[in-house]
Structure 1
Amino acid sequence: MTIKEIKKQLETSKKPVAKAFHIGEHFKVLLFGFRKGMKLEDHKAHHPTKLLVLEGDVIYHQGKKDIRLKQHDEVEIPAEAPHSVGALEDSMILLTQG
């Protein structure tokens, strides 16, 4: 039900909606929902992370590189690397950390 909850909250949200999907002792799995045009501004992950696009089309920005990611594309995010994610269309991403 987590994805359905995110999509419902996105109907009225002005920013991306995040929810924990699964948390263990040494890992975390998060879901982020975006409406077209929403952006998760520069931030850092404190653990190595993998971003997977479940649906949609996003731009991942880290340092001097922009990577366009569509459904089922993925990218590794190093720990402590400043990065941002912007939605080119309504999108849902899954992040695994740890």
Structure 2
Amino acid sequence: MIIKQIKEELKLAKKPIAKSLHHNTSFRVLVLGFRKGMVMKSHTAKWPSKLTVLEGSVSYQEEKENTVLNQYDEFEIPVGITHSVEANEDSLCLLTQSDD
């Protein structure tokens, strides 16, 4: 019930919510929840990652590039590149990460 929990918690949240959906020693799948205007601050990925939008729309921002991702869009996030994510509308995303 992770997705339902995130949707409920977002009603009062001041920042994006991230929860583990599934993981083991070599991969993890996170669910990210955003309300419109919320920003996941600049950070870098330590593992190869893919962001998939399940609902809504987000902007993936690197140094000088901005990529709008809508429902069902996917984006490969490079390791070691500083980036942020901003919600253009209420959104749910999957973040898959692998150590290979």
- TMscore range, shorter length: over 0.9
* Partner residue in 1 for 2:12: 12
Tell me how far apart the structure 1 counterparts of residues 36 and 84 of structure 2 sit (CA, whole Å): 15
Structure 1's consecutive aligned runs of 4 or more residues displaced over 2 angstroms after TM superposition are: none
Tell me how far apart the structure 2 counterparts of residues 82 and 28 of structure 1 sit (CA, whole Å): 20
Tell me how far apart the structure 2 counterparts of residues 80 and 21 of structure 1 sit (CA, whole Å): 24
Q: How does 1:1-98 map to 2 (within 5 A)?
A: 1-98=1-98
Tell me how far apart the structure 1 counterparts of residues 16 and 42 of structure 2 sit (CA, whole Å): 13
User: Residue type of the partner of 1:11?
Assistant: K
Report SS of the residue matched to 1:5.
Answer: helix
Report SS of the residue matched to 2:14.
Answer: coil
For structure 2, the 5+ residue unaligned runs are: none
The Cα of 1:15 is off from its aligned counterpart by: 0.2
User: Residue type of the partner of 2:74?
Assistant: E
Tell me how far apart the structure 2 counterparts of residues 53 and 97 of structure 1 sit (CA, whole Å): 15
Tell me how far apart the structure 2 counterparts of residues 81 and 29 of structure 1 sit (CA, whole Å): 20
User: What's the TM-score, normalizing by structure 1?
Assistant: 0.97
The Cα of 1:74 is off from its aligned counterpart by: 0.6
Tell me how far apart the structure 1 counterparts of residues 4 and 21 of structure 2 sit (CA, whole Å): 12
Tell me how far apart the structure 2 counterparts of residues 96 and 81 of structure 1 sit (CA, whole Å): 16
For structure 1, the 5+ residue unaligned runs are: none
User: What's the TM-score, normalizing by structure 2?
Assistant: 0.96
Show CA shifts across 1:36-87 (max 9, x none): 0100010011001000000001100012110000000010001111110000
Report SS of the residue matched to 2:67.
Answer: strand
